[in-house]
Amino acid sequence: MPDFARRIPVGRYRGLHPVTKAILAMVGAIVALGVRGWTGPAVVLAAVVLSGALAGVLRRMALFALATIPLVVSILLVNTFLYPNARDAIVTVGPLSPTWTGATAALQATMRVVAFGMSAAVFALTTPIDDLLTELERRGLGRRGAFVVGSALGAIPRMVERAREVVDAQRARGLDTEGGPWRRFKGLVPLLGPVILGALGEVEERTMALEARAFTAPGRRTLLRRLPDSRRQQLARWLLLLGSICLVVVSLSGVVKLP
């Protein structure tokens, strides 16, 4: 295999095995959402910021953080103003009475959501999908499962391109797709049919093309790429997974009080 096809990832974080990065993201989610108090989300946030810096993806992680804004806003509003049985009002304005207890809970929940989101972001930004699918297929994921995930993600740019073509065609026939939000929304409606039907129409040809490329042959597929792994990483994966579960159990049982 030539080097360009091996595509060995370089860098301290990117060079980790895809399964190790997936486990790190999973552990981040478990700890951020499962450990009581501030400790869990705070540790995960610090870890993902460090990982993001190591991998050089801090800026792009900010975009993922922006995506959590609607959820964060709703968490802040609901908890701060409607926290059940909270009496320590910060201020009372008419019927509105935000409380310190609610605000504290909201902040903590926000940290959990952001830590979870950033953990997933670091993984997504540092792991090519075909790397992950190759390794999952090596570990027993069926060729159909791997293909469905891979081709669905690969189809997104094609759908975007098709949508652009349909918009151009609609415009050429006089449809107004620019202007205010309502006008743009109305312009979307005639777009949906051609894009969806066009994609469905390709399904039969794609199915036949797969058959013509022996996709239904029995047995396991040959996997050309093998990404570097090590005993240390394998051990670390198990330790991290088991450690995070133990941490959550200890935290929830109240044996050890974490801040």
Partner 1 sequence: MSAGLVLAGASYRYAGALGAALAAVDLRLEPGRVVGVAGANESGKSTLCLVVAGLAPSVIGGRLDGSVRIDGVETAATRPHELAQRCGLLFQNASTQLSNTTATVLEEVAFGPCNLGLPAAEVVERVWWALRAVGIEPLAPRDPARLSGGQGQLVALASVLALRPSYLVLDEPTSELDPAGTRLVAEALARIAGETGAGILLVEHKTEVLAHIADDVVVLERGTVALSGPAAEVLADPRLVELGVEPPAQVRLERAVRAAGLEWSAALAEAIE
Residues 6 or more apart whose Cβ sits within 8 Å of residue 224: 1, 5
219: contact with partner 1 by CB under 8 A: yes
To 10 degrees, the CA torsion angle through 166, 169, 170, 171? Answer: 120
Q: Cα separation of 190 and 171, whole Å? A: 11
DSSP conformational letter for 236: H
Q: Cα separation of 13 and 203, whole Å? A: 38
CB of 120 to partner 1, least distance (A): 22
170: phi > 0 → left, psi -120 to 50 → alpha, else beta; which? alpha
160: contact with partner 1 by CB under 8 A: no
- In the shown chain, the binding pattern of residues 113 to 152 toward partner 1, with x for contact by CB under 8 A and - for none, equals ---------------x-x--x---------x--xx--xx-
Q: From the list 1, 10, 172, 189, which residue makes contact with partner 1 (rule: CB under 8 A)?
A: 1
Cβ-based nearer residue to partner 1, 88 or 211: 211
Among the residue ranges 38-46, 171-179, 180-188, 202-210, the one whose residues contact partner 1 (CB under 8 A)? 202-210
Among the residue ranges 27-35, 60-68, 203-211, 251-259, the one whose residues contact partner 1 (CB under 8 A)? 203-211
Please choose, from the candidates 2, 222, 32, the residue with its C-alpha nearest in 3D space to the C-alpha of residue 134: 222
Give residues in contact with partner 1 (CB under 8 A). 1-2, 4-5, 7, 128, 130, 133, 143, 146-147, 150-151, 154-155, 157-158, 202, 204-224
